[in-house]
Every structure is written in structure tokens, then in C-alpha cells.
Amino acid sequence: MEGDIAQMGQFIGAGLASVGMGGAAVGVGNVVGNYLAGALRNPSAAGGQTATMFIGIAFAEALGIFSFLVALLLMFAV
């Protein structure tokens, strides 16, 4: 295992950036869980709100993808 301290910082930074993806997991789970809770209470209104759920998932997921991108940039672009 060789390398300089900058490379070590790169790897540690990439690992730290990946932690952000856990936040996206919590966010997406929250969106879908709340959708399901609402859908089970009022199933007749559930069908019309699937599109809204996917938009919510997309917004929550985007920030996790950003942290994944930071990790990738640290690994391959810096």
C-alpha cells in the first residue's frame, strides 16, 4: 500500500461523501412511507398521487446522487 497523504485525503473524503447517500435513503423512505400511510387511509385518492410521489422521490434522491457525485469526483477527477 503506497501513496502520498493527498491520496489518503482523497480516499477519506470520498468515503465521507458517501455518508450523504444514507440521508437520501432516509428521505426516500420517508416519502414512500408517508405516501403509503396516506394511501391506506384513503385508497381512492392514492392513484392520483403516484406522480407526486415519484417527483418527491426524485427530489429527495437528487441530493444523495450529489454526494455520490462528489465521491466519484474525488476518486477520479481530482
Partner 1 sequence: MATEAHGESEGLVFHPMDQFIIKPLAGDGPVGLFTITNVTLWMALTCLAVFALMVLGTSARSVIPGRLQSVAELAYGFIRKMVEDVAGKDALPYFPYIMTLFMFIVFANFLGLIPGSFTSTSHIGVTAVMAMMVFIGVTVLGFVKNGASFLSLFWISSAPLVLRPILALIEVISYFVRPVSHSIRLAGNMMAGHAVMKVFAAFAPLVLISTGVGLVVTPLSILAITAVYGLEVLVSFIQAYVFTILTCVYLKDALHPHH
Binding-site ranges for partner 1 (CB under 8 A): 51, 54-55, 57-58, 61-62, 65-66, 68-69, 72, 75-76
Distinct helix (H) and strand (E) counts, the chain = 3, 0
Q: 444523495: which residue's cell?
A: 64
Start-to-end C-alpha separation, the chain? 20
Number of alpha carbons in the 13 Å side-chain half-sphere of residue 53: 18
Least Cβ distance, residue 44 to partner 1 (angstroms): 16
Compare residues 46 and 61 and give the one whose CB is closer to partner 1: 61
Least Cβ distance, residue 11 to partner 1 (angstroms): 10
Compare residues 38 and 61 and give the one whose CB is closer to partner 1: 61
Least Cβ distance, residue 33 to partner 1 (angstroms): 17
Q: How far apart are CA 1 and CA 48, in angstroms?
A: 56
